[in-house]
Amino acid sequence: MEEKIKLLQDCRVLDFTNETGFLCGKILGDLGADVIKVEKPGGDESRKLGSFYQDIPDPEKNLYWFSYNHNKRGITLNIETEAGKEILLKLVEKTDIFLETFPPGYLKKLGLDYAALSKINPQLIMTSITPFGQSGPYKDYKGSDLVLTAMSGFMSVLGDADKPPVRPTLPQSYVWIGMHAAEGTLMAYYHRGMTGEGQHVDVSGQAGVTWALSIAPSFYDLNRELPTRAGSFITGRSITGAILRAVYPCKDGYLAYIIYGGPAGIRTNKRLVEWMDSKGMAPDYLKNKDWSKFDIATVTQEEIDQLEQAYMKFFKTVTKEEFFKYVLENDMLGYPLATAKELLEDEQLKARGLWQEVEHEELGTTITYPAFSTKFSSIACGFWRRAPLIGEHNEEVYGEIGLNNSDILRLKKANVI
């Protein structure tokens, strides 16, 4: 059997990102790159965000840090000192990819922007991730998950119609940005392989999250219609303007079920009615319904309301697990509203080998993580190491550029590393 290889094993990445860019470096690490996460001495501010291992507020126990910094080595470096700058320039000589999330202009002030670094290493790829981009009227504005969810338009289609718009409670914008940054970075890396040419990649968080809007912009673009938030309903499926319920309460939680047309949608509705009928809960109008004439694109709100009323009553008698089992067995569209608990128990994810037990020897325990999700026939993707502790690989990495232990001690005392 052919052995899979680590695709990026000869690729060195310096990762100066904060929480808005962690995922980018992680993905490169998943693909085998030697990613070195650089923090300021004492540790990155982002280690204070979110929740902690066993609720102990310790920067070495931050769960967001754990989530998106594995497959990276970790060093500390203060690039605002002369000695720190020198070390950085030395590291850059042997770096393929430089990832950063500083405000636009910051690196230039230090003489460390793409123009300067590419003189030392013309093949360097620099990926800069900021809320709005490196240039333009908003370039100096700050972002947070809430700000990016709002400015990207994503929030305008989330939430109940009679309440203020909402963001998903688990931040999503940073992972969108990190993922997109990985796409752009890999494209630039491939281009470099083809031509020998490095370049600067300018990632905009706002533009990145806009992709989470899916096809919504086309409603405005074509017809000046404005998709807006509709709570647990979906809009835009019928040209009559009918809105369709997507979330139903069930016995022990919620289900996602949507009345669709097309072959799969009609099959789903028919089988649901059969199921209801087997429990004596299908009204006559449902049993007698001619689904072959059902057209979701022209259906009226009245017809939808009638259907949903009967479905609502039935779903309240069903558990999430019963529903999941039934849709799987009967080739129907619909799923329960899962939480982390159900994800970890899911048969499919288990059978696919998604979960990996990773040792955290510093905590004396193992933690379950999802592996890199894409399965390649020839590229090895793995979970090579847990997220680094603060300065965990200082000796190792600085040793590689010729610094000895007494240098490292001296630099530490001077607060350079």
- Segment 298-317, which members bind another protein (CB under 8 A)? none
Q: Does 3 bind another protein (CB under 8 A)?
A: no
Taking the C-alpha atoms of residue 172 and residue 180, their distance in angstroms, rounded to an integer, is: 13
1 or 215: CB nearest another protein: 215
182 or 411: CB nearest another protein: 182
Q: How far is the CB of 64 from another protein (least distance, A)?
A: 5
Taking the C-alpha atoms of residue 288 and residue 70, their distance in angstroms, rounded to an integer, is: 56
Among 58, 86, 197, 362, binds another protein (CB under 8 A): 197
- Segment 270-299, which members bind another protein (CB under 8 A)? 296-297
Q: Does 106 bind another protein (CB under 8 A)?
A: no
Which residue reads 């949507």 in tokens?
258
Q: Does 368 bind another protein (CB under 8 A)?
A: yes
To the nearest 10°, report the CA torsion of 401, 403, 408, 411: -80
Q: Does 110 bind another protein (CB under 8 A)?
A: no
Q: Does 188 bind another protein (CB under 8 A)?
A: yes
Q: How far is the CB of 386 from another protein (least distance, A)?
A: 12
10 or 274: CB nearest another protein: 10
Q: How far is the CB of 228 from another protein (least distance, A)?
A: 7
Taking the C-alpha atoms of residue 82 and residue 14, their distance in angstroms, rounded to an integer, is: 19
Q: How far is the CB of 65 from another protein (least distance, A)?
A: 10
Q: Does 1 bind another protein (CB under 8 A)?
A: no
Among 34, 96, 113, 202, binds another protein (CB under 8 A): 202
Among 35, 186, 250, 266, binds another protein (CB under 8 A): 186
Size, binding site for another protein by CB under 8 A: 157
Binding part of the chain for another protein, among 34-42, 81-89, 155-163, 407-415 by CB under 8 A, reads 155-163
Residue 6 has a CB neighbour count (10 Å cut-off) of: 17
Binding part of the chain for another protein, among 86-94, 248-256, 281-289, 393-401 by CB under 8 A, reads 248-256
Among 343, 389, 401, 409, binds another protein (CB under 8 A): 343
Question: Which token pair is 350?
Answer: 């288990």
Among 42, 103, 105, 370, binds another protein (CB under 8 A): 370
Taking the C-alpha atoms of residue 209 and residue 149, their distance in angstroms, rounded to an integer, is: 7
Q: Does 37 bind another protein (CB under 8 A)?
A: no
Q: How far is the CB of 101 from another protein (least distance, A)?
A: 14
Secondary structure of 80-128 in HEC code, one letter for each residue: CCHHHHHHHHHHHHCCCEEEECCCCCHHHHCCCCHHHHHHHCCCCEEEE
Sheet holding 247-250, edge to edge: 247-250, 253-256, 335-336
Q: CA distances (Å), 326 to each of 79, 123, 250, 279, 342, in order?
A: 58, 55, 14, 14, 16
The sign one gets for the Cα dihedral 16, 21, 24, 25 is positive
Q: Does 269 bind another protein (CB under 8 A)?
A: no
Q: Does 333 bind another protein (CB under 8 A)?
A: yes
Rg (the chain; Cα; Å): 26
Supply the DSSP symbol for 339.
Answer: -
Among 225, 303, 321, 395, binds another protein (CB under 8 A): 225
Among 98, 102, 176, 275, binds another protein (CB under 8 A): 176
341 or 413: CB nearest another protein: 341
The sign one gets for the Cα dihedral 154, 160, 166, 167 is negative
Beta bridge partners of 36: 14, 73
Coil, helix or strand at residue 13: strand
Angle ∠(58,60,64) on CA atoms, nearest 5: 90
